Chain A
Amino acid sequence: MNEQDQNNKDRQDDQLLNKINSGEVKMRPRVYFVLRAALAVVGTIFLLAVSIFLISFLIFVVKGRGSGLNLHIFVSVFPWILLGAAVLIVLALSWILYNYSLAYRNPLIYVPLAVIALIILISVAMQLISFHERFERFSVRRRVPVFEMFYRKHAREMMPDMDGTPGRPDLNFFYRRSGLPF
């Protein structure tokens, strides 16, 4: 490096350090990164919970209500939108997790596969403890916002041949009591 190059370099270094010393270039506070990391964790847990709820619900309706339907009706009444939403959430989760070294150091395909495996495992466990049967009953009885309508809508869609009543006779009482038209 000749003298002129060295001088230019020093000038640039000084410019940057002067900007730092004068406060023109400011350091972001640690709390900013802590909040960002916390938001990522909360977002991940939320998306994971939603995807587990959707997939376990799909298993629930397919196993409990769709098994007696022929393929044509099954395909027409299956809540494809929920499945699509679950797939999008898995992709979003994979995208978030891909920022962490454990995820990006391994082949990209491992992340969605691991997420799907985790979701299916927990969904099957939820099926074993009859989570949706209990929660559906609870939501309809207590009129839990969002969930009551969710179960009602999809129960009706999966059993269109029952005059609009849901496929679970034990729940008819609760549906009737709610005063809604099925």
Chain B
Amino acid sequence: MNAGAPLATSESDESIAEKIQRGQHQYFGEILIRYEAKIKRYARRFLTDPKDAEDAAQEAFIKAYRNIQSFDTSRKFSSWLYRIAHNECINFLRKRKTESLPLFDLDVLFPHLAREEHLDDMNVRQTKEEIELALSRLDPKYREPLILYYLEGFDYREIADILHIPVATVGVRLARGRKILKNFYEQLTGIK
């Protein structure tokens, strides 16, 4: 990074966003340093086509800058930025029409009550492995919560904020996604 050199490495994302809102544009460089790799990785896992992922991530940062005045600094910046990235990825999926994206899902209307699960380290490690192996074979509606929870480290509430779905639906999709993954993994490796 040359232009807009890092300025505030110890500051929170939210206070950096506040500075950008006040017109100190150069701080956007710090946001790029902190999030560019993460957003690109997220887009790559979600979109599978690397070129689309690159474009989606780039567009997400442009939109984040354009709309930064709408960011409420009392909320979490990362959830806000990932929400923009999520919308961009969805736009790319719609354009490509390679995967079906239902406009409406019953699990949003009537989600079962699902409590946040806390898996032990070994289970988390195994699920991460399963996700990396079988990610592209998963339906986007299950793929995304799994990426956000296991690979990006968001909790249920943050995922609900990023995807704009009920917290209970996050739990439902994670549970179903894990089950589907397990089946794929068993088919691929033959390990039960």
- Quick one: CB contact mask for B1-13 with A, threshold 8 Å, 1 for yes? 1111000000000
Within 8 A of A (CB), among B46-66: 58, 61-62, 65-66
Q: List residues of chain B with CB within 8 A of the CB of A26.
A: 66
Q: List residues of chain A with CB within 8 A of the CB of B28.
A: 17, 20
* Chain A minimum-CB-distance residue to B21: A30
Q: Is the interface of B mostly helix, strand, loop or mixed?
A: helix
A135 within 8 A of B: no
Q: With A30-B21, A32-B69, A104-B160 in contact, do A25 and B62 touch (Cβ < 8 Å)?
A: yes
A108 adjacent to B166 (CB under 8 Å):
yes
* Chain A minimum-CB-distance residue to B25: A20
Contacts A25-B66, A107-B168 supplied; 13 other A-B pairs, CB < 8 Å? A13-B33, A18-B3, A19-B62, A21-B4, A27-B65, A27-B69, A28-B66, A32-B69, A33-B67, A101-B161, A105-B157, A106-B167, A107-B108
User: Of residues A9, A14, A101, A105, which shows the largest number of chain B Cβ atoms within 10 Å of its Cβ?
Assistant: A105
* Chain B interface, number of residues (Cβ within 8 angstroms): 34
- Quick one: CB contact mask for A36-77 with B, threshold 8 Å, 1 for yes? 000000000000000000000000000000000000000000
A129 within 8 A of B: no
> How far is A16 from B168 in the complex, measured between Cα atoms in Å?
38
> How far is A13 from B5 in the complex, measured between Cα atoms in Å?
11
Q: With A17-B3, A21-B25, A104-B165 in contact, do A33 and B69 touch (Cβ < 8 Å)?
A: yes
Q: List residues of chain A with CB within 8 A of the CB of B29.
A: 13, 17
User: Of residues B20, B58, B70, which shows the largest number of chain A Cβ atoms within 10 Å of its Cβ?
Assistant: B70
Contacts from B to A (Cβ < 8 Å): 1-4, 20-21, 25, 28-29, 32-33, 36, 58, 61-62, 65-70, 108-111, 157, 160-161, 164-169
Q: Is the interface of A mostly helix, strand, loop or mixed?
A: helix
Within the complex, the shortest CB–CB distance from A144 to chain B, in Å, comes to 40
A13 adjacent to B1 (CB under 8 Å):
yes
> How far is A107 from B110 in the complex, measured between Cα atoms in Å?
6
Within the complex, the shortest CB–CB distance from B97 to chain A, in Å, comes to 24
Q: List residues of chain A with CB within 8 A of the CB of B69.
A: 27-30, 32-33
A109 within 8 A of B: yes
A107 adjacent to B70 (CB under 8 Å):
no
- Of A9, A16, A105, the contact of B160 (CB 8 Å cutoff): A105
Q: List residues of chain B with CB within 8 A of the CB of A109.
A: 109-110
B32 adjacent to A17 (CB under 8 Å):
yes
A172 within 8 A of B: no
A130 within 8 A of B: no
A178 within 8 A of B: no
Q: List residues of chain B with CB within 8 A of the CB of A19.
A: 62
Within the complex, the shortest CB–CB distance from B41 to chain A, in Å, comes to 12
Q: With A27-B69, A108-B109 in contact, do A14 and B1 touch (Cβ < 8 Å)?
A: yes
> How far is A33 from B69 in the complex, measured between Cα atoms in Å?
7
